[in-house]
Every structure is written in structure tokens, then in C-alpha cells.
Structure 1
């Protein structure tokens, strides 16, 4: 019988679907990818065709098989993580009920704003551990109930992206404890919470919520139909995974234990399309959830959770900048360089440019900002520049804006941890690694793995099929051994400059919120003007204290 020595991890992101194959010890052996398509529409719609997402995932797995001899026969397990939040509805027959609403979809902003302004906001945060934002399935279900009730009437299950892929592979309807709890549950009990559904005004939609499973705790066989789609062997164990953020945090070293077996004060930043920042904790009683912003995500380790703050747009800002460069080249009649070449040139230009020439707020996402404040009207802005600001200075400001947003998220929780582990597309950028170290005053370390999300998911699959006794036992081989020995140290002079600029970054954002609200009213066709604007967020009472570079207690 053929030895089943491989584990396949899929990471279905917003823009790219990747399939990565590992051996049982965690060494990456092959990778295939397929572009994913977001369908943008009126009023902030951002959707994906559910059937196409599955078809593209299956096609990516078939591409992977072209690289690895006898992939089907050698696969011991398949696991898929994916973009988080959003709403993927299916009916009784398992067919999609319309397109999926993504985390980028802005249409539920009004419903979420009303909830956030109500008396329900604080008790919801206290129970779920998370603040409401328009990316979550809760607000999107409220929007669907108002604007597309026929879709909800047809739906029997509300899934997330990774749940849809798991259902397509196995026929099993379920979700992970991470997304289920911070949306509809209680992070202390780890179960759905009827009071949360009542506070959301969604008690009748409890029927849509699938059973909760802990990632890595079980598996189901790949169906014959899914085997035919993917080219894999029917019966291959398929392991339910968490969403991409916990999977990436696992894969990049966000869970770090010291010599006495205690969690270290290690921060973790995931800078992909969006940005996520925080650290692990075993002290659930010490968590003080905020109704303003942030998530508490249960991890697939007993008693461990991640307290996280997410800003809506990270490398989306670089995508915007690359788009401008491509348009400028076309306008000038010049050939457009390849993306990889442009990114390399940008990195060199950013590192060579003088720091702090302007302040850029990286709010380019159409659904505004979600951390460390929530404002669906927030928009990007460039402040304090003059005619001498050239392209390199502009690029530097954009990159600085991304790392200031990261520091803003850390500052919302208190002092920054002693070290930051960086994952996501930004981990491959020398400029972003250095600027993150400079902006936070903390050394930055990355994993040598390029696909930390797929690796974290595959790690859970290795535990589920019995390769390791526990997830903690697997961490040294699967994660720690892949951390880069090189650490990017902060430049003290630039850190001192950023310490002075960061409070100005916060103040400028706070003072701009009435302007954003007025512009949002104009975009929506109303005319509330500045009088109807949302109140500005005041900067912390002591910027020096909240941005302290001291070790977290």
C-alpha cells in the first residue's frame, strides 16, 4: 500500500487560493495557486460566487497534483482555512442561496452603526469578546433580513468561507469555535449564547447556525463527488480548520512558550490585505473586551485565546499604490513592469527615502475602518506634504501609514510586547519589516515559511490524524524550527522620530471623522453635513503611555 506521507493545506484568501503540500514533519514540498475574484457592486457590495470558489479550490488542488507524484494516493489529510467573517448561505439541498457576502462588504454599515449606538453594544462585547463591525455575519444577516428576506427564507445554514469548502468536501455542516463565538457566542463558555442572539435582534435566525467544532479535533471523509472534483482519493480525511487569522497565528509562531512552559510576551502581526495584531493569553478573566473595536479569538489550545485588533486595509494600500504606478505608466505610453519587479523597486525606494515626510492614513477599504476604532466612513488621506514630496516620499508615507495603523492597534491594548512575529504578504517586504520595527520600537521576526496560514491549518490536520499527541507537542517541529534566526532590529533614531509622529497620526484621524461623515453623506446621496457626523475619537490621554515600548506585564 502506498505510504500516506503528505498533508495538504488550503488557504482560500480574498484574492488568491493556495494549496500547499507538507510532509508529516511540516516541510513544505509544493504549492499551487489560483486567483480569486471579488465581485464589487453598488453601495459597497463585495461578493464572491460560491460555486466558483469551490471550483477554483478544486482546480488549485489539481494543479498541485501536477507537481507532486501520486498526490492522491499519498495524502494523509486535507484541510482548508480561508478568509474570515462574511456570510455564505446554503439551502436544505446544500446549494448556495445567492453569492457570498465577504468581510469587505460595506452594506451592513447602517445596521451595525445602529447596534453600536444602542444599549446592546456593551453587553454584546462583554459576552462575545468582540466589538461589532460591518465585516461580521451578524450585521450582514440583519441587512439581508431587511433587503433580501427571500434569501434568508430559503437558507437553512449560514456558513463562512472555510465552512463552505469543508461542506463541499465532506457534506458536513459545521463551523469552528473561533468565528462562531466572537459573532454569536460567549468566549468564556465556548458555546453559542441565546442572549447574544437576542441582543442582536436575531433570535429567529438561530436555526441557521451550524454545530461548532474545535479545529483539529475530528475529521470526515472526502466524498466521491469532491474526490472527482479535486482529483484526490475518496475517503481522504478532511479536517475542519479555523479561519485564516488563527491558522496564520499558529503557523508563524504567534503562540510561543518559554522555558517554564508559560506563554511568552510575543506579539503577532498579520499584514495581508487586512491587518491583524495582538497576542495570546491564558488569563480569560483579565480580558476586558471593548465595545469600540477588537476581537477575542479562541485558539485550538486548551485555555488559550488571542486578543486581537484588526485594521481594515494593510497591503490593500500597496495594491492601490501599484495601481497608480501602472496607470501612470500606461498614461505615459510606457510598458507596465511586472508586479514583482514593481514591489522590489518600491522596497528599495521606501528604504532610501527620508522618513516622516508626510502622514498617510491607510483607510483605502470601501467599508472604512474597524480598528482600533470603527468608522464605515473612514477614508485614506495624505497630510502635511509639500511640492517637494516625490514618488519615493509618497511610497514611504504609505508604508509608514500601514505600520502606524499596526502601532495604533497595539496601543489600544497597552504596552507593546517584547517581540513581534510578522506574517502575511508584508513579511516578504524588507521595507515593511524594518518600518514595523522602527514604528513599534520592537524587534521583528518572521517565519521562513511563506504560507503560514496553510501551514497552521496543516499542523492541526497532523494532530487530528494522530501524528502528534497534541498541538503543543507539534509546535517545536512545525513552527519554532521555521523561525528565521535573523531579527530585524529597530533603528533608534527613526523610532524616536516615529514616537513624535505617532500622536499626530492619531490626532489627525480623530479630527477627520466629522469630515469623513460629511463626505459619506454626500456619497450616499443624503445631506446631513457636518452636524450629523459621528463624534471624533479622542486620542489616548497619554500618547506616550499608551504607545510605551516597555514590556507588557
Structure 2
């Protein structure tokens, strides 16, 4: 098969590649599970060499299925986290991923001292347990020897770019929400000063705009992938912006907002003026839109579709499968990840809760209540962002769940355009590469590179709509009531760590 563009998305759950021809058609794909992720309680790390090996493997597999030259390669990867390298370009230990929860207490102390607000004044977003700046600060407090070995603080996609090209570069849209000002496009030492961080901005890669942030494929990477040495490698925006682009946010007519339910959940809108948002939680992010102008405003949640697997394990019901509605009085708060929550609730100690349990409740009711909770969080985010009227574009693993999609449309009170193919991030990358490598116009990108949704689902009227509205109101009221207790619950959990594991009579 002929191809022109090869795209790579190294995610938390899977590593995917796809090749596109000159008309934006997918001509080959490859995928493998992320073999590098390591979970141990609040510690969630990733083997950096294994991450690079996974990337080489999927690129090589995809390239083997193609005929004709590959004219360009563009990459993205999971956002946030700390992927440190030394002066020789070698990994300095494992990456600290965006799911790691070890900085929760640190974030709380900084928040009490008003230092996170000082950072937000510069970046428009407060650091959370996912933030690279807090990971470096944690190392400063807990592992100074490792911190001193770090020459560059990268993200996943920058580590992969280095592995493919030998160059240390970054693009600003993903980096500035942590380290600078999206309005000026500049990093700021005020961030590290507010946090008391001795080494921060000096560790960051050189910045270049998307399109200019590129280098040739190295000989070593060419040997591993079968792609010609010197092939242009572009560093795309973060995985979030890439996926939102692929879902048509900001380019498909009638779409003003989007939600993605992957391992995490992302809720976003495209706006010409971010000041039009009704409310901006501290964990929300604003990025210039790489495709057609304007801004993407989004709430990156820690708790997404992985909630289904967590609930299945906790209830002993086995692997989570397609949903079946089980409407009930069971109401769930879905904050189970060790880092707490980032947006629309910004709280490092956020934890889950289940209300309305009775002896008649079972795993089906709890599993469905978890999906309802994800829809309620999405609704809260979109209310805060106050996007113009229009449809919501839905992606991620739950986009293929017809019952969840219908309930989400019902809670939101608007049509949901579901894209179920799972290639949104790769398609967004391809559209961005087509713009910068071929000069494709916005009309061409919308027509040929951003595909139409698989299904469009309308809200369900009548009794289900009344049930959803009433339950969402209660969900929000209980959330407001419980938030002041999250830190106390976290403190009790810390006390429990040192207690005997078994009762001794």
C-alpha cells in the first residue's frame, strides 16, 4: 500500500501507529499494549527504554505493511509526567507518569501556602499531582542525587522524539501550561520561584513551534523501524490536543465541544476568547489550537474509562464489558485514581464514594452508576466551559458503548457525535502534518482528514431524562458536601498504612 504520512501515539494503555495516503485515507495500522507501565500503590512509573522499544515495534510493524516512500512521521504521547535524561541522553531512572500520586501531600501544602495560586497567575493552571514541576520538586525533597543527574526534563513525546532523531526539542502548547504563559509563548522562572524549585526551567528542552519542531530520523532509529534515514520527524501537540483535533473540534461544522473517555477523561471546547468560560477550575488548561487558530480549553480528568475496570475489580464482577442500563438509587463519585482529581474538581486528595447502597444493590447497579458518574462529570465540565451551542464529539473507548453514549446525550441535553474507530489521536496528528508538510487548507483538512462520526445520538426524552436530571443535581450537591472531608479521609488512610495487617487477639 502507498503511504505518505506515518503517525505514532504512545498512550498509557496502548501504543498505536497509522499510515495515511495523500487523500487522508488510513492505509495501515499497528498497535500493542503498553508494556512499560508499572503500578505500585501511589507510585505509577514507566520504563523509558521499554516505552521506546514499544514505539519502534509498532512503527516497524506499520512500515512493513506499506509500499512506497514514507514522506513524514509525526508523534505524540501521553501528556505531563517527568521523563528525565542525563547529559548523554540516557534515561535517569523510570519516568514518573501523570497518574503518579506521590505528590498529593506536597500539592496540598503548596496550595495552603498560596504558592499554587502564584503559579496559576502565570500559567493559568495550578500544578497537580500530574505536573512535571511537582515531580521535580518531589525529587528535590526525596532524591536529590537523582535530580542532580538530570540534564533535561522531557515528556513522553519528547523522549520518543529524542529516541527517533537524537534531538532534544519541545513544542510550546504542551509545555507552557506547566512552565510559562500561553499568551506570550514564553517560559517563566516565576514558576520555579513560586514552588521553591532549584532546578526547573533550565532543564527544559529548546522550544520550536509545531511544524518547525522537526528533525531527520537517525540511522539507529531507521535500522530499528525500517523507515529511511533522514525522513522528517515532526513533534506534534500533546495527545489531548491531537485527539481533540481528530474528533473535529474546531474544524467540523456544528461541533463546539468534545469529550474523550480513554484511561483518563478529557472534556474540551474550542473558543476564540477563553475569557468567555463561565468558570475555570485551577486544573483546567488553555492551549493555542494548532490546526486552525483560536484556543482549546479543556479539563483533563484523572478518572476516565479505567473507572469501569476499577469498579469491576472492587465488586468482584470480573472484566468490565459493554454496559447495560441498570437505573437505581445508587450514586457514585468516580475519583479512584491515587492522584485524586484534576478537573473539573481540582483536589489531590479526592476519593470515590458510593451512596444509596441497599441489600438489593448488586454489581450491575454499581457498574452502571459508575458510567452515570462519568457522564455527570462531563456535564459539569461543559457547563463550566460555557461553549457556544452545538453538538458534542465523543471519542475514546466508551464512544463505542451505545448505552453510555445515549445517557451522556441525555445528561448534556444535546446531540452526541460518536467516533468509535479509536484513531482520533492519529487522525489529528495526520491533519496537523498535512497542514505543515503539504500546506493543506482548513477546508481540505475538514473534508479529507477529519472524518465524519460513526453515529449521532440524540437525548432520550421522558422518564429517563427526568431521572438523569434529578440524579445529576443530587450528584453535584453531594459532591459539594463531601469535598471538605477528602483530606481527612486521606489522613486516615495514611494512618492505616502503619497498622498491623492482621488482628491479633
TM-score by length of 2: 0.92
Is 1:501 the counterpart of 2:501 in the alignment? no
Q: Is the 8 A contact 2:280 2:384 kept in 1?
A: no
SS at match of 2:361: coil
Aligned equivalents of 1:182, 1:279: Cα separation in 2: 17
Specify which of 173, 178, 203 is matched with residue 173 of structure 2.
178
**Which among 483, 497, 500 is matched to residue 452 of structure 2?**
483
2:48 matched to which residue of 1?
50
Whether the aligned pair in 1 keeps the contact of 2:301 and 2:342 (CA below 8 Å) is yes
Q: 1:86 to 1:54 in 2, by over 3 A?
A: same
Cα distance, 1:283 vs structure 2: 1.8
What are the equivalent positions in structure 2 for 1:317-466 lying under 5 Å apart? 317-323=307-313, 327-328=316-317, 343=321, 346-347=322-323, 349-350=324-325, 353=326, 355-414=327-386, 417-447=389-419, 449-466=421-438
Decide whether aligned partners of structure 1 residues 485 and 375 sit closer, same or farther in structure 2, where only a CA change above 3 A counts.
Answer: closer
SS of the residue 2:351 aligns to:
coil
Offset at residue 464 of structure 1 (A): 2.5
Measured against aligned partners, the alpha-carbon deviations of 1:427-452 in whole angstroms (never above 9, x if no partner) come to 11112211110111111002364210
2:465 and 2:279 map into 1 onto residues whose CA distance is: 29
- The match for 1:275 among 261, 265, 269 is 265
Q: Is the 8 A contact 1:125 1:289 kept in 2?
A: no
Per the alignment, do residues 256 and 356 of structure 1 end up closer, same or farther by CA in structure 2, a change over 3 Å counting? farther
Contact 2:276 2:386 in 1 (8 A): no
Q: Distance in 1 between matches of 2:374 and 2:489?
A: 23
Distance 1:417 1:271 in 2: 22
CA displacement at 1:359 relative to structure 2:
0.7
Tell whether the 8 Å contact from 1:460 to 1:471 is kept in structure 2 after alignment: no
1:357 Cα offset (Å) = 3.0
| Whole-angstrom distance in 1 between the partners of 2:314 and 2:24 | 39
Shift of 1:119: 3.0
Matches within 5 A, 1:128-139: 128-139=123-134
Q: Say if 2:3 and 2:27, in contact at 8 Å, map to a contact too.
A: no
Q: Aligned residue for 1:103? A: 98
- CA–CA distance in structure 2, aligned partners of residues 94 and 257 of structure 1: 40
Decide whether the 8 Å contact of 1:34 with 1:56 is kept in 2: yes
CA drift of 1:380 comes to 1.8
Deviations 1:134-174 (A, max 9, x none): 10111111111111111221111110001100111011111
Match of 2:226 in 1: 231
Per-residue deviation, residues 466-520 of structure 1 (Å, max 9, x unmatched): 2x345565233211xx112641000122233222211211222232234432331
What is the match of residue 196 of structure 1? Answer: 191
Q: 1:416 to 1:270 in 2, by over 3 A?
A: farther
Aligned to 2:16: 18
Maintained 8 Å contact 2:277/2:385: no
> Does 1:242 pair with 2:240?
no
Q: Is the 8 A contact 2:256 2:387 kept in 1?
A: no
Q: Which residue of 2 aligns with 1:84?
A: 79
Find the aligned partners of 2:313 and 2:276 in 1 and give their Cα distance.
Answer: 44
Residues 487 and 292 (structure 1), Cα distance of their counterparts in 2 relative to 1, 3 Å cut: same
SS in 2 for 1:74: coil
CA distance in 2, matches of 1:441, 1:357: 21
Aligned mates of 1:373, 1:69 — CA distance in 2:
45
Indicate if the aligned counterparts of 2:181 and 2:187 stay in contact, CA closer than 8 A: yes
SS in 2 for 1:370: coil
The CA deviation string for residues 23-76 of structure 1, in whole angstroms up to 9 with x for no partner, is 12211122211111321235x11000000100111111222234x144xx5211
How far apart are residue 203 of structure 1 and its match?
A: 5.7
Q: Does the 8 Å contact 2:12/2:37 carry over to 1?
A: yes
Whole-Å Cα distance in 1 between the matches of residues 418 and 205 of structure 2? 35
CA distance in 1, matches of 2:277, 2:402: 34
Question: How has the CA–CA distance of structure 1 residues 191 and 317 changed in structure 2, closer, same or farther, with 3 Å as cutoff?
Answer: same
Compared CA separation, residues 328 and 448, structure 1 to 2 (3 A): closer
Normalized against structure 1, the TM-score is what?
Answer: 0.84
Cα deviation, 1:215-238, whole Å, max 9, x if unaligned, reads 233421100001112222111111
Q: Are 2:121 and 1:126 aligned?
A: yes
| CA–CA distance in structure 1, aligned partners of residues 428 and 415 of structure 2 | 23
Partners of 2:45 and 2:53 in 1: how far apart?
A: 16
Q: Is this contact kept in 2: 1:410–1:416, CA < 8 A? A: no
Match of 2:445 among 469, 474, 478: 474
CA contact (8 A) 2:43 2:102 kept: yes
What is the CA–CA distance in structure 1 between the aligned matches of 2:375 and 2:274, rounded to whole Å? 28
The answer for the alignment partner of 2:500 in structure 1 is: none
- Of 490, 493, 502, 1:523 maps to 493
> Aligned pairs, how many?
495
Report what 1:300 is aligned to.
290
RMSD: 2.4
Q: 1:86 aligns to what SS in structure 2?
A: coil
Q: What are structure 1's unaligned runs of at least 5 residues?
A: 259-263, 330-338, 528-553
Which of the numbers 455, 461, 483 marks the counterpart of 1:492? 461
In 1, Cα distance between the equivalents of 2:276 and 2:19?
A: 39
Counterpart Cα distance in 1 of 2:446 and 2:420: 15
Contact 1:416–1:440 (CA under 8 A) maintained in structure 2: no
Name 2:482's counterpart in structure 1.
512
